[in-house]
Structure 1
């Protein structure tokens, strides 16, 4: 508390004004905290308001296998919805990013922006509480720490979603060759394309869960009346992989011109194996360049120390005896 009073005194230059400002900040913070707690504990627990919120977000309380969202999730969705409505130009880009990361919920964009808004405020509050415990912290250092906390809170959700997107696409890319081989076998055995997709999704539901879910969603869309080409195009959009986009283009041309789907899948499987071999060769060719910096900073100093160290010690001893 003394640290905060001193901080306000340095900013305003007047002790009385600093006290009034400190009391005002404490009062506003208490009112906001109490309002948040009341909204969380009472407002969202009202059965009518909760039911309306569930209807607006498209959630059916009687659907099996799904749990109703909690009060905190509904609160975050409301906060994010206010911000996302003003950022309509970025909504499609954010929704695409979240879809590639595996968040396909209708409220994923609102939740994302709510977390990006509330996390910096939370970290700034924690920083202000921890600053008095650090001895010898000046005003400039305190402001830098607060700004760093706000920046970390703003960038951390984006970095997490980006890493999750890369990891998910890596797993899908690794599982894609196995799915292609299974599809070739199923099509050559006489199964239609929707039945092939369904069978491959069932076979890969244990080893590759994410790709199995995507293929099962494609099969569900085809059963709902969407054409196979459109369902596969939506699969390419959801995954964001160039390999899947190439497969969709080939299958669309095969379906349009009436050529054999098995031949198309076999040709693309061979092409994908060649592309994967080229990617492996490219990664192997980069190893020599990547090893330059570890060799320079780790191995060569030790080599010079072992090779030249004894000679340098002998030279120093010879000049020391003179």
Structure 2
């Protein structure tokens, strides 16, 4: 007895069965999407929790005598100490150089200042290691036999230079991206600060509230504002907290905000009006940058227009005429 198909067949497959499987997969994907949307976690929650715990410790005056915890709070490790001692013996570690790298680390969002020693050590060791590997591949193994002497020399020099500049370029790239994200959210943050100031909140409470409101949209800016609010609550000089904010963010707009906050703290000028003026200036500046990019667009599109669009347009317009002329000449 031959089994009859239970449903319509298409290319040898049961249409109802295939539809059922696809519907099940679609339902499963929808459940996963809903679960991912419902269980979104705030990326700043863990960071703010750690900073709040540190603030409570500083307020209560808790001082631990355990060497392990003291080293953790001082952000030191055996690795950084060994690297620092080695670089000190080689006379390649300078205080000015350490301060520059520490500021670049702060601009990139790294709070651990001891990483500056690691960056300087990597900049000193990577050219040797990478250069040795490149020399082995280029000259000893002869991995590229078709290269001439000058090409080999330039390739070797380029690899060594890239290894030397690699850590610094990484920090610069990450700092530039972080600064750009902070710059995007700064006008909105100033508007919220104006609202908080007019509502009667203190400066540290206003910074904390803005950090919570903008934490998901602009996590970098929310992180900086949260840290500033915590520093404002326990530092003896509030000016130091504002200066730390200007130190951590490589942005002239933030330096202007810091100067305004310090002046309002010193002279007692209205904070809301000053921040409102700054917010309007930053929005105008952002609009001017957008207009500048729009004005540069015709000049940027000239090369693609000449290379890609005009040849196609000539083919479409002149192609039929060329075909007609060629047919007329062939028929003669």
Query: Could you say which residue in structure 1 is the equivalent of 2:15?
Result: none
Q: 1:73 to 1:250 in 2, by over 3 A?
A: closer
In structure 1, distance between residues paired with 2:90 and 2:285: 43
In the alignment, the residues of structure 2 paired with residue 65 and residue 87 of structure 1 have an alpha-carbon distance, to the nearest angstrom, of 24
Aligned to 1:160: 170
* Residues 237 and 62 (structure 1), Cα distance of their counterparts in 2 relative to 1, 3 Å cut: closer
Aligned equivalent of 2:189, options 179, 183, 189? 179
- Cα deviation for residue 217 of structure 1 reads 2.4
Change (3 A) 1:82 1:193: farther
Q: Given the alignment of the two structures, is residue 106 of structure 1 paired with residue 113 of structure 2, yes or no? A: yes
Question: In 2, distance between residues paired with 1:267 and 1:99?
Answer: 28
Name the CA distance, whole Å, in 2 between partners of 1:192 and 1:205. 19
How well do the aligned residues superpose, as a CA RMSD in angstroms?
A: 3.4
Which moved further from structure 2: 171-180 or 301-310? 301-310
Alpha-carbon distance, 1:218 to partner: 1.8
Aligned partners of 1:290, 1:146: CA distance in 2, in Å? 35
- Contact in 2 for aligned 1:194/1:228 (Cα 8 Å): no
Is the 2:207–2:225 contact (alpha carbons within 8 Å) kept by the matching residues of 1? Answer: yes
Question: How many residues matched?
Answer: 264
Q: Is the 8 A contact 2:104 2:175 kept in 1?
A: yes
CA-to-aligned-CA distance 1:247-302 (integer Å, 9 cap, x gap): 12222222232222122222222222222222222222221222112212222232
**TM-score w.r.t. length of structure 2:** 0.67
1:265–1:312: structure 2 CA closer, same or farther, 3 Å change rule? Answer: same
**2:125 match:** 118
Seen in structure 2, the aligned counterparts of structure 1 residues 144 and 286 have a Cα distance that, compared at 3 Å, is closer
Q: Which runs of 5+ in 1 are unaligned?
A: 1-58
Residue 153 and residue 309 in structure 1: after superposition, are their counterparts in 2 closer, same or farther (change >3 A)? farther
Distance 1:305 1:90 in 2: 60
Aligned to 1:95: 102
Are 1:77 and 1:107, in contact at CA under 8 Å, matched by a contact in 2?
no
Preserved contact between residue 246 and residue 254 of structure 2 (Cα < 8 Å)? yes
Q: 2-side partners of 1:309 and 1:286: how far apart?
A: 33
* Shift, 1:316, TM fit: 6.5
After TM superposition, the structure 1 stretch with the greater mean CA deviation from structure 2, 89-98 or 284-293, is 89-98
**For residues 285-300 of structure 1, what are the structure 2 equivalents within 5 Å?**
285-300=295-310
Output the CA distance in 2 between the equivalents of 1:308 and 1:142.
49
Q: Deviations over 1:129-182 (max 9, x none)?
A: 434262525671443332222122122222222211110001111222232222
* Structure 1: distance between partners of 2:101 and 2:299: 35
Deviations 1:47-66 (A, max 9, x none): xxxxxxxxxxxx96337998
Structure 1 residue 311: Cα displacement: 4.4
Closer/same/farther in 2, CA of residues 135 and 244 from structure 1, 3 Å limit: closer
